[in-house]
Structure 1
Amino acid sequence: MSKSSSGSAASLLPCDVRRDGDRLFDVAMWCLGQDVRCPDGNVLLRHGLVREARPPGVEGQSAYQGRLLDGGRLTLWGFGALCESCGGAIFVPRDGFVPRWVEDAHGTAFRVEDVGVRRDAATGPERRVARAGLARLADWLAEYEAWVARDVGLAWRRECLAARRKASPIPAEELSTAWRRLAVRVRATDAVMQHHAAPMTGA
């Protein structure tokens, strides 16, 4: 990661939130990949996401599209997630958990370079939108994991985690709660940032 990207990440999220989010998102992306290949049928499709299949002869990965809880659009690939919500679009790469602002986002892309022009969120309003998008992604993943545990079964999610090369930092039964807590932490970060940015009055 470049120094400028690292500095931007620090202005978006505290190091501990980014670190915990990175670990949790790595687990989530692994589980989503396993869900696609579930022997009982593609779990993402069962949950209502729509698959945009990679056309023959086109490099890249298929996209899965669904709705965020606020009505925004979520697109998932093996290389990351695109959240189009709150008047902006952010891309969260599989590695790093650093949301990037996306100009002219393309949810029907099949390669990361085709998602759109990605850059750091440059202004206060853009950083607020980036954090809001990240919190909504965490909300969606919390709801999704709760649904998996309830409708697919914890046995399946435990099987997914057991297949990882490294042990999951979170047990299957706590994934939904962990995402809810992360959403709260991201929103708390936004509240703190806005408080520090507010002008002094009444002095």
Structure 2
Amino acid sequence: MAQTARWIKDGSRLLNQQCRLWGRDICRPEGNVLLERGFHRHRATDGSNASSQYTLQTAPDRLIRLWGFGLYYGGCGEHGSGIFINRFEFEPRLASAAADRWHSATELQHLPRASDAESPLVRDALGWIVGYERWVRLTYGVPYRQRCLIEARSRWSAPHRLPEAWEDLRARMTSASQVPRPSPSATQAHAAC
């Protein structure tokens, strides 16, 4: 149980920071890094200031969606299923990705928790983040990521270690073949807040 609590804590810290970094990548003065990487931006159709959705199809049957509030990784199309991870709560949840559908944070917050059967999807999502951060480091350099961390007011002080931090979390999950989820006492304590 202590190991799972550590995953949730480390995963939450890393994903919160990663969402901040993606935000800095979007605002890069020389151009939006996510668009340069091949993502498609979708804005809320109701004209609100809601978080934009960035979608990248990584394989014929696989896509990743990013929002300011988290990420989706999994299948695509009308019957695509995968996992959603909230940036503040590293507890993967089962999700669906209808083609080009924009989601809101409130729509995704009550999804059922993923089971251990979905742990390969979680590890694959983390693997995608590892690859993205390695690409950023190779393409834009460590000084770029250092600036992003400063601009995002992040406490992380080792931008050259970002891919390795994600890889470490992924390796710990792989060795246990489990999806991180809180202990019942942690869930009860969280619900009481």
Q: 2:39 matched to which residue of 1?
A: 49
Identical amino acids, percent of aligned pairs: 27
Q: What displacement does 1:152 show?
A: 1.6
Structure 1 contact 105–117 (Cα < 8 Å) conserved: no
Residue 174 (structure 1) aligned with residue 161 (structure 2): yes
Q: What displacement does 1:114 show?
A: 3.4
Give 3-state SS (helix, strand or coil) of 1:67's partner.
Answer: strand
Structure 1 contact 68–136 (Cα < 8 Å) conserved: no
Instruction: Give the alignment partner of residue 22 of structure 1, picking from 12, 15, 31.
Output: 12
Q: 1:73 matched to which residue of 2?
A: 63
Instruction: Give the alignment partner of residue 32 of structure 1, picking from 8, 22, 39.
Output: 22
- CA separation of 1:152 and 1:43: change in aligned 2, threshold 3 A: same
Q: Which runs of 5+ in 2 are unaligned?
A: 179-193
Q: What displacement does 1:56 show?
A: 5.3
Take 2:162 and 2:123, find their aligned partners in 1: how far apart are those partners?
15
Structure 1 contact 85–133 (Cα < 8 Å) conserved: no
Take 2:14 and 2:109, find their aligned partners in 1: how far apart are those partners?
25
Matches within 5 A, 1:141-160: 141-160=129-148
Q: 1:128 matched to which residue of 2?
A: 117
Residue 83 (structure 1) aligned with residue 73 (structure 2): yes
Q: What displacement does 1:189 show?
A: 1.6
Give 3-state SS (helix, strand or coil) of 1:82's partner.
Answer: strand
Residue 96 (structure 1) aligned with residue 89 (structure 2): yes
Letter in 2 for 1:172: P
* TM-score (normalised: structure 1): 0.75
Q: What displacement does 1:30 show?
A: 0.7
Q: Which moved more, 1:51-60 or 1:13-22?
A: 51-60
Letter in 1 for 2:106: E
Q: What displacement does 1:70 show?
A: 8.9
Letter in 2 for 1:184: A
Q: 1:194 matched to which residue of 2?
A: none
Matches within 5 A, 1:182-201: 182-190=169-177
Letter in 1 for 2:81: G
Q: What displacement does 1:68 show?
A: 4.2
Letter in 2 for 1:29: C
Structure 1 contact 83–89 (Cα < 8 Å) conserved: yes
Q: How many residues align?
A: 174
Residue 112 (structure 1) aligned with residue 105 (structure 2): yes
Take 1:115 and 1:22, find their aligned partners in 2: how far apart are those partners?
17
Structure 1 runs of 4+ with >4 Å offset: 68-71
Q: What displacement does 1:115 show?
A: 4.6
Take 2:42 and 2:154, find their aligned partners in 1: how far apart are those partners?
30
Q: 2:126 matched to which residue of 1?
A: 138
Q: 2:182 matched to which residue of 1?
A: none
